[in-house]
């Protein structure tokens, strides 16, 4: 089964609107249209940057999709400070990251919340990028496969194969995020393969084999090709290296 690679840039809490416009323009100017036909590419800027970034890509007619970094599952109402799925949909998001370890660890996001978000996004036709990954202490205890696969099972509770096929999983070991300490291709593949085995168990072979499992954590232009060559790694969720257009585009090229 050949799966189209997806390279998604998670800009995290970086880039004011003018900075975001410059970065989007650099990506747009540097992107090779032929590569964008064979690799799915998305950027996930902060909420306030979504519209300006969208405008750049639309004006340049460049095939880069837009994603949000978080969302709330209720459609509207008294939820001060939250952003709804209809809002990100209207602005043009086709992806939404959920369950990022920074949200889980710093903002109390739970497996249950991730599941509610996944279901609401699927319902709205937006692709959730469901993040899972273990901390260093969990890895050192040797129970990381159990930990990560139970995060996957919790995220997909009540979701059937027909809907699961429209989702993406991102394996992001917490110890590799922003640390420069990338998982080796073998370490990343071991967990991504275990995630796929879990998806197989939940949804059957055909669905599991057609779903994309990304790796994220200090992925850059120097290590992307080897990570992306692994059988169960279908793309990358890029943090720091996504903030420099040339690095991001090198990773996109490596995903061809």
Ligand X SMILES: O=C(CO)COP(=O)(O)O
Say which DSSP state 213 is in. E
Residue 130 bridge partners (DSSP):
98, 169
Q: Which is nearer to ligand X, 50 or 202 (CB)?
A: 50
Q: List alpha helices for the chain, DSSP H.
A: 17-30, 33-38, 50-59, 85-91, 101-107, 111-124, 136-141, 144-155, 161-164, 185-203, 205-210, 224-228, 245-254
Quote the least distance from Cβ 129 to ligand X, whole Å: 9
> According to the binding rule CB under 6 A, does residue 151 interact with ligand X?
no
Q: Which is nearer to ligand X, 43 or 126 (CB)?
A: 43
Output the CA torsion sign for 12, 14, 16, 22. Answer: negative
Q: Which is nearer to ligand X, 103 or 202 (CB)?
A: 103
Quote the least distance from Cβ 17 to ligand X, whole Å: 21
Number of residues that bind ligand X (CB under 6 A): 14
Active site residue 172: yes
* Residue 152: closest CA among 189, 196, 120: 196
Catalytically annotated residue among 100, 102, 189, 221: 100
Rounded-to-integer distance, Cα 185 and Cα 179, Å = 16
Residue 120, classified by CB atoms within 10 Å of its CB into exposed (0-12), middle (13-18) or buried (19+), is buried
> According to the binding rule CB under 6 A, does residue 128 interact with ligand X?
no
Compute the half-sphere exposure of residue 94: CA atoms within 13 Å on the CB side of its CA.
12
Rounded-to-integer distance, Cα 83 and Cα 240, Å = 24
Binding residues for substrate: 10-12, 178, 218, 239-240
Give, as ranges, the residues between 188 and 247 that touch ligand X (CB under 6 A).
216-219, 237-241
Q: Which is nearer to ligand X, 202 or 212 (CB)?
A: 212
* Residue 255: closest CA among 2, 4, 1, 31: 4
Binding residues: 10-12, 178, 218, 239-240
Quote the least distance from Cβ 238 to ligand X, whole Å: 5
Residue 237 bridge partners (DSSP):
8, 216
Catalytically annotated residue among 172, 189, 221, 250: 172
Quote the least distance from Cβ 195 to ligand X, whole Å: 16
> According to the binding rule CB under 6 A, does residue 172 interact with ligand X?
yes
Q: Which is nearer to ligand X, 113 or 203 (CB)?
A: 113
Rounded-to-integer distance, Cα 99 and Cα 117, Å = 9
> According to the binding rule CB under 6 A, does residue 10 interact with ligand X?
yes
Give, as ranges, the residues between 85 and 104 that touch ligand X (CB under 6 A).
100
Active site residue 100: yes
| Closest CB to ligand X: residue number | 239
Catalytic residues: 100, 172
Chain positions contacting ligand X, by CB under 6 A: 10, 100, 172, 177-178, 216-219, 237-241
């Amino acid at each position: 089964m050949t799966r189209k690679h997806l390279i998604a840039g998670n800009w995290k809490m970086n880039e004011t609107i003018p900075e975001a416009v410059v970065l989007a323009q650099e990506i747009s100017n540097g992107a090779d249209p032929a590569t964008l036909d064979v690799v799915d590419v998305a950027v996930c800027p902060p909420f306030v940057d979504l519209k300006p970034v969208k405008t750049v890509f639309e004006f340049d007619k460049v095939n880069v999709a837009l994603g949000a970094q978080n969302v709330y599952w209720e459609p509207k109402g008294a939820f001060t400070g939250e952003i709804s799925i209809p809002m990100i949909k209207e602005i043009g998001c086709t992806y939404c990251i959920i369950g990022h370890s920074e949200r889980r660890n710093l903002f109390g996001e739970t497996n249950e919340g991730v599941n509610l978000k996944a279901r609401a996004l699927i319902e709205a036709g937006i692709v959730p990028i469901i993040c899972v990954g273990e901390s260093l202490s969990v890895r050192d205890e040797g129970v990381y496969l159990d930990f990560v696969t139970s995060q996957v099972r919790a995220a997909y509770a009540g979701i059937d194969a027909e809907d699961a096929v429209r989702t993406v999983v991102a394996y992001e070991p917490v110890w590799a995020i922003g640390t420069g300490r990338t998982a080796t291709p073998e370490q990343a593949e071991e967990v991504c393969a275990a995630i796929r085995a879990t998806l197989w168990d939940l949804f059957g072979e055909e669905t599991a084999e057609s779903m994309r499992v990304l790796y994220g954590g200090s992925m850059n232009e120097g290590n992307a090709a080897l990570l992306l060559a692994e059988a169960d790694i279908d793309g990358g969720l890029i943090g720091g290296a996504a903030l420099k257009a040339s690095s991001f585009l090198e990773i996109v090229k490596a995903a061809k």
